[in-house]
Chain A
């Protein structure tokens, strides 16, 4: 098992390295003064100087890369040249909002997606199955920011039931939860369809296994077969896909954060992009990538641990 985790971690680190390399290469491949490329033409000379010093831009390119990698390895994402605050601190400040949104979206989407997937399997081949399939594929296809806009329009602007802006006052749990409802609805809706389709497909595959025939031959009820056997096998099969999905939820919340003016990683990245604040963008991209690959490792490890065959093999 430790060797398995180690291998996964190595791959994850390689992916992070690739992200850093890509960002570094992009900054240098664009023609022109890299400080102007990164900070925009309206940046002040002092800011450009600070950025030049931080990245070691007057040194050879390989040295710059080495400097960057050493800094990143130490967990130092550098200073934001606009506000002169450490990028890591800024990211960690808004991270809880994004994680809360991702978790809330994930929980309701998983719950509803599982139920829909199971109902579809129970009605396999009948009109209920078809209806759930049609609804699921529609949920996946509709862009989440349109869902966000329309739910804002209906529930916040027209009906005025829920807040349209912000994440609720700190300390006011009720307000924070109310502020989560619409964004998590918008982020999670597509995932309901995605998960229900995954669950349905995995369970139908499980139901065609030989052991299901054995259970049927002993008169074991379909309910018990579906919920105790097929569901467990299906969950095991889709667990890693879902956990990786959680990683992409973290980045998928960007639209909801902007539409509902919620603080968070996505909003911060967006603001940094608008103000051409490349150091901050680099920091948020690296942090989200790190979270993303962490979810991937966790997914692999957990599903390996839950599967008795894999557990004993590694």
Chain B
């Protein structure tokens, strides 16, 4: 993996103001079903941050909470939740709506269902640009065509009259990215952007997203359970488990020296990394527990669990030789020697 030639995110001050700044943010469904617990996450301009974790770890809830797209039963709380300078926790509905698009745009997992099947793409992209006053529509049209061309869609003018079913999934995901770019957002949130695509399409979409960061200067928050995707594109990675971030660091730190037993287990289960000759795919025993059920939610599945793990909440500690590498675990924080790391 070759990290993009960019200054390291955690470089010397003065740091530019973060695009997304979350301090101790929690989300729960209804009154008592927590999905995200006390998450701290900062994304600086032009930074690509990935979140990995199993299904049910709360990573999608986290991504959707940024745009206020959670169902009505969801409750958000925290000490700070700033998106492009606006505090989401204090924003009313209008203020929140104003953020959607210009502050942060989102692309979704399944491009085939992300667009209305009975409206033309041109109609839908025009409606996404509803903020711009352009009576004749010619200006909007030109911008849309330019954006479609920029994401590498052949015959962008002709596509305006096309319906979604006439395009392939990869093409539609490009359209979705073009739509996001039209907003010139500070942050692009990508929720499993390549999961529904085949491998060649995946590579192209990732390449496109990376080049957009270079050209448009957008920050990207990418959610994936696919380690390869994260390794390919991210500067920094946060590992989520049962609603908490259990480990965070540069892509190098996480992939070369994973500290948290859960992260290590994730790598052990990654099909691409499993040594050939193994007869069964390893799995992490058990299921993701309800977040917040115990001090360390991984303890019940942990191979190196100690007595402390049930007595004391694991601290958020700096770890290892990589800058900015943090882990929420008793064991790995104390044991000096990093467990066997792997190169992606």
Interface residue ranges, A against B (CB under 8 Å): 209-211, 213-221, 224, 228-229, 232-233, 236, 307-309, 312
B118 pairs with A233, CB closer than 8 A:
yes
Knowing that A213-B114, A218-B105 are A-B contacts, what are 16 other residue pairs whose CB atoms are under 8 Å apart, sorted by A's residue number?
A210-B113, A211-B113, A211-B117, A213-B69, A214-B176, A215-B128, A218-B101, A218-B183, A219-B130, A220-B127, A221-B130, A224-B130, A228-B127, A233-B116, A308-B117, A309-B117
- A233→B98 CA distance, assembly (Å): 27
Asked if residues B127 and A217 are in contact (CB atoms below 8 Å), the reply is no
Give A236's nearest chain B residue, CB to CB: B118
Shortest distance in angstroms between B262's beta carbon and chain A's nearest beta carbon?
A: 30
Look across to chain A and name the residue whose beta carbon is closest to the beta carbon of B102: A219
Determine whether the beta carbon of A308 is less than 8 Å from that of B165: yes
Could you tell me if A312 and B128 are in contact, using CB atoms closer than 8 angstroms?
no
Give the interface SS of chain B, mostly helix, strand, loop or mixed: loop
Number of interface residues of B (CB under 8 A): 29
Who on chain A is nearest to B164 by CB? A211
Beta-carbon contact of A219 and B113 below 8 Å: no
Q: How far is the CB of B110 from chain A (nearest CB, A)?
A: 6
> In the bound complex, do residue A211 and residue B100 qualify as a contact, i.e. CB atoms below 8 Å apart?
no
A-B contact count (CB 8 A): 72
> Which residues of chain A come closer than 8 Å to B231, judged between CB atoms?
none
Say whether A216 contacts B69, CB under 8 Å: yes
C-alpha spacing A221/B96, complex, angstroms: 12
Which residues from B are CB-within-8-Å of A220? 127-128, 130
Q: Which of A210, A216, A224, A228 contacts B100 (CB 8 A)?
A: A216
Q: How far is the CB of B5 from chain A (nearest CB, A)?
A: 31
B248 to chain A, nearest CB (A): 26
The one of B115, B131, B183 that contacts A211, using a Cβ cutoff of 8 Å: B115
Q: Which residue of chain B lies nearest to A125 when distances are taken between CB atoms in the complex?
A: B72
Contact assessment for A309 and B130 in the assembled complex, using a CB-CB cutoff below 8 Å: no
Bound form: Cα–Cα A236–B179 in Å: 26
Point out the residues of chain A lying under 8 angstroms from B113, CB to CB: 209-211
Across the two chains, which residue of chain B brings its CB closest to A211? B116
A7 CB to closest chain B CB, in angstroms?
A: 22
Considering the complex, which residues of chain B in the window 96-136 have a beta carbon less than 8 Å from any beta carbon of chain A? 97-101, 105-106, 108, 110, 113-119, 124, 127-128, 130-131
- Which residue from A213, A218, A221, A232 sits with its C-beta under 8 Å from B119? A232
- Which B173-230 residues have C-beta < 8 A from chain A? 176, 179, 183
How far does the Cβ of B6 sit from chain A's closest Cβ, in whole Å?
A: 27
Distance, CA A221 to CA B127, complexed state (A) = 10
Give every chain B residue within 8 A of A213 (Cβ-Cβ): 69, 108, 114
